[in-house]
């Protein structure tokens, strides 16, 4: 990536910042495209363009003169207006693809999610051949699947693309998973048997996979359109991992349990109630969350190892130590 002009959408976000750091280490000239301004990026010699992915003209201007685009930005979450998810994840991705094609950009690395293939049950050791489900239980995975398919199609039509599916990204600076766990720790209960195993990925490892994808695509354009699961390559007990993350923040472990059936039913009731009353804040539980928290979902990353040369550099134990240290420094402040 040395001397390349690179654009990162969502460069101020949790994963985006990590991707930006890795690119700077590689000697790339980096520009971030985000809706807001991030002072910490300015201090890192990163050019910033403020704009919305739904603004096609702004995206086309941002992509001008760029060699590679890392499309990391997305609207995540398990609750919200369908139009908001569609606008960010589908329309936004469409604009990124169009901007790349119009500006003659060589490569696009797209951040997707394993949730695009989640069918509501256990997924153990599956690879990239697993099909999309017949129906989705939340708007986020549905819109991310639509975006993913557009990028894959573009990969066969004039733009070299790679799609990455990092699962449960965590680490210092997390603005989504870790804060949500801490916020709900007192009321959170184990759902199901408590024996389900999942893949996770430490944020720096996820960022490294993105850099490797960009390099692999430059070396071998025949990889264009490929999809890759990326993870720690070490499935863990979900609830033990939750307790480990909470311990990093000095929060007690999860206590109590409910059956998966009860949690799914409760989630459906909450969704109906919140929708009818047009309550915008996230319900205490949704049917999608209940299914994700009560099932196993871990993936075969052999393809990423073979094609991208990906290996997790930071272990779960090392990552947890770094996460704990980040909370310790905050407490001392």
Read off the pLDDT band of 3 (50, 70, 90).
confident
Mean of pLDDT values over 85-107:
96
Is the pLDDT reported for residue 267 higher than 50? yes
Q: What is the CA radius of gyration of the chain?
A: 19
What pLDDT score was predicted for residue 92?
98
Summarize pLDDT for 221-244 with one digit per residue, the tens: 999 999 999 999 999 999 999 999
Mean of pLDDT values over 14-19:
96
pTM score, two decimals? 0.93
What pLDDT score was predicted for residue 195?
94
Mean of pLDDT values over 189-198:
94
Summarize pLDDT for 122-136 with one digit per residue, the tens: 999 999 999 999 999
Report the percentage of the chain scoring pLDDT > 70: 98
Which is nearest to 10 in space by CA: 51, 63, 44?
A: 51
Read off the pLDDT band of 199 (50, 70, 90).
very high
Give me the catalytic one of 37, 132, 136, 140: 140
Is the pLDDT reported for residue 333 higher than 80? no
Mean of pLDDT values over 88-109:
97
Of 11 and 177, more confident: 11
Q: Say if CB 133 and CB 120 are below 8 A apart.
A: yes
Q: Say if CB 19 and CB 211 are below 8 A apart.
A: yes
Distance CA 292, CA 286 (A): 10
What pLDDT score was predicted for residue 331?
39
Mean of pLDDT values over 90-100:
98
- The count of other CB atoms within 10 Å of the CB of residue 64 is 13
Ordered domains of the chain (ranges, CATH): 5-174+201-231+297-313 (3.40.50.720)
Is 37 annotated as catalytic?
A: no
Mean of pLDDT values over 254-283:
86
DSSP state of 199: -
Average pLDDT taken over every residue of the chain: 93
Summarize pLDDT for 281-298 with one digit per residue, the tens: 888 788 888 899 999 999
Residue 305: is it exposed, middle or buried by C-beta count within 10 angstroms (0-12/13-18/19+)? middle
What pLDDT score was predicted for residue 268?
85
Summarize pLDDT for 65-74 with one digit per residue, the tens: 999 999 999 9
Summarize pLDDT for 38-85 with one digit per residue, the tens: 888 877 789 999 999 999 999 999 999 999 999 999 998 877 788 999
């Amino acid at each position: 990536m040395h001397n390349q002009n690179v654009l990162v959408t969502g460069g101020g976000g949790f994963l985006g910042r990590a991707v930006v750091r890795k690119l700077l280490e590689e000697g790339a000239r980096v520009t971030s495209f985000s809706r807001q301004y991030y002072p910490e990026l300015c201090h890192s010699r990163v050019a910033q363009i403020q704009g919305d992915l739904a603004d096609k003209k702004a995206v086309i201007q941002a992509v001008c003169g760029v060699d590679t685009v890392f499309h990391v930005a997305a609207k995540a979450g398990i609750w919200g207006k369908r139009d908001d998810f569609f606008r960010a994840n589908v329309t936004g991705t469409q604009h990124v693809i169009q901007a790349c094609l119009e500006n003659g950009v060589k490569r696009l690395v797209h951040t997707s999610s394993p949730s695009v293939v989640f069918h509501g049950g256990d997924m153990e050791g599956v690879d990239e051949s697993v099909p999309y489900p017949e129906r989705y239980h939340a708007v986020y995975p549905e819109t991310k699947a639509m975006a993913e398919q557009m990028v894959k199609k573009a990969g066969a039509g004039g733009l070299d693309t790679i799609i990455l599916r990092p699962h449960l990204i965590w680490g210092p600076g997390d603005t989504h998973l870790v804060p949500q766990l801490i916020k709900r720790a007192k009321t959170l209960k184990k759902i199901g048997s408590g024996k389900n195993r999942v893949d996770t990925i430490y944020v720096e490892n996820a960022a490294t996979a993105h850099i490797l994808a960009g390099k692999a695509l430059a070396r071998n354009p025949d990889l264009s359109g490929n999809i890759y699961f990326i993870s720690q390559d070490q499935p863990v007990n979900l609830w033990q991992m939750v307790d480990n993350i909470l311990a990093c923040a000095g929060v007690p472990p999860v206590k109590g349990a409910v059956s998966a059936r009860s949690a799914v039913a409760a989630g459906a009731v909450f969704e109906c109630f919140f929708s009818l009353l047009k309550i915008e804040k996230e319900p205490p539980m949704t049917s999608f969350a209940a299914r994700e928290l009560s099932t196993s979902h871990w993936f075969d990353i052999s393809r990423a190892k073979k094609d991208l040369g990906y290996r997790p550099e930071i272990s779960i134990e090392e990552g947890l130590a770094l996460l704990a240290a980040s909370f310790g420094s905050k407490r001392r402040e």
